[in-house]
Amino acid sequence: MAKVIVYLREHEMQALNVLAQKEYRAPKAQAALILKTELVRLGMLEADPQIPPAEAHYGSQCAS
């Protein structure tokens, strides 16, 4: 698996941490999901049929 280093400002990292905690993910996993979702949205990647659509992961409230 490839490794990418992303430089974030403090407030951006805090926002990522808050979202990751809300979604029960590690911040690195949350960042990877955001990147993959955006690449699919832009048509740069095909959606993985084994993974539910991004809308089910973030940007909506889960009934749990």
Convert the pLDDT of each residue in 9-48 to its tens digit: 999 999 999 999 999 999 999 999 999 999 999 999 998 8
The answer as to whether 15 is a domain residue is yes
The answer as to whether 49 is a domain residue is no
What pLDDT was estimated at residue 16?
98
The answer as to whether 38 is a domain residue is no
pLDDT tier at 61 (50, 70, 90 boundaries)? Answer: very low
What pLDDT was estimated at residue 50?
77
For the segment 48-58, what is each residue's pLDDT rounded down to a tens digit?
877 666 544 55
Total number of domains constituting the chain: 1
What pLDDT was estimated at residue 53?
62
The answer as to whether 24 is a domain residue is yes
Instruction: Please give, one letter per residue, the 3-state secondary structure of the chain.
Output: CCCCCCCCCHHHHHHHHHHHHHCCCCHHHHHHHHHHHHHHHCCCCCCCCCCCCHHHCCCCCCCC
The answer as to whether 16 is a domain residue is yes
